[in-house]
Amino acid sequence: MLGVVALVNVLFPPQRPAEPTGEQDAEFAPAEVTSPAMEEEAATEPPQISAVVDSATVPGLVPAEEVVSDELSLEDTVWVTSPIYRLGFAQRGGRLVSAEMVRFESLAEESKGQSVQLVPSGAENFFTHQWLVGDDTLDLRRVHFDIQPRDGLSLASGGQPQVLRLVYSYPGTQFRVELDYTFKPDSYVVDLAAGG
């Protein structure tokens, strides 16, 4: 069989492609692509925005800046303690402001001898939430969460897991976000369930 293929190639050799000349044929040259619709669109000017929407023109709309600034003054930190860690959650953004590993001693010069701190000093948005909803991003980093229970959680070795719930409700609407963190006393693993 191999002999037949070789014989056919000898009797009827394949044609060699033409050497490139360095010039491109006109039919393959790139052309500027335009359509009548594109030309018409380019000729028209962009629409002008005649008015800015604010809270005075839309009933019930509370500007986000006002909501956030009022709520930030009331911010508290709620603590979750266990035999192996101590975590602090702040109301603004439900962010993690402290994460101490109490069984491990820090070797850093500025905190030598203290528990290891996993949250970097000065971190503003450590472990906060931004959710992708369709093509939009729901940014929860600056909203005020209600944390339940208010006095935090204290987990005992060998005890049952406990839930810390963070709730955000947008004023004047039914929009609501619930974040349930489930902590186990003898594990660093934290379960997160989100709903609304």
User: What counts of helices (H) and strands (E) characterise the chain?
Assistant: 3, 11
Structural domain boundaries, residue 172: 64-195
Beta bridge partners of 89: 78, 96
Q: How far apart are the first and last CA of the chain?
A: 71
* Cα maximum dimension of the chain: 92
The pLDDT of residue 166: 94
Query: Per-residue pLDDT averaged across 112-118, rounded?
Result: 91
- What whole-number distance in Å separates Cα of residue 117 and Cα of residue 58? 46
101 belongs to a structural domain:
yes
128 belongs to a structural domain:
yes
133 belongs to a structural domain:
yes
The CATH number of residue 72's host domain is 2.70.98.90
Residues near 97 by beta carbon (within 8 Å), at least 6 away in sequence: 77, 88, 89, 90, 119, 123, 126
152 belongs to a structural domain:
yes
16 belongs to a structural domain:
no
Share of the chain above pLDDT 90, in %: 37
56 belongs to a structural domain:
no
Q: How confident is the model at residue 12 (pLDDT cuts 50, 70, 90)?
A: low
Q: In this predicted model, what pLDDT tens digit does every residue of 126-171 receive, in sequence order?
A: 888 888 888 888 888 888 999 999 999 999 999 999 999 999 998 8
187 belongs to a structural domain:
yes
Q: Is pTM beyond 0.95 here? A: no
Q: How confident is the model at residue 10 (pLDDT cuts 50, 70, 90)?
A: low
Domain count, the chain: 1
The pLDDT of residue 133: 81
34 belongs to a structural domain:
no
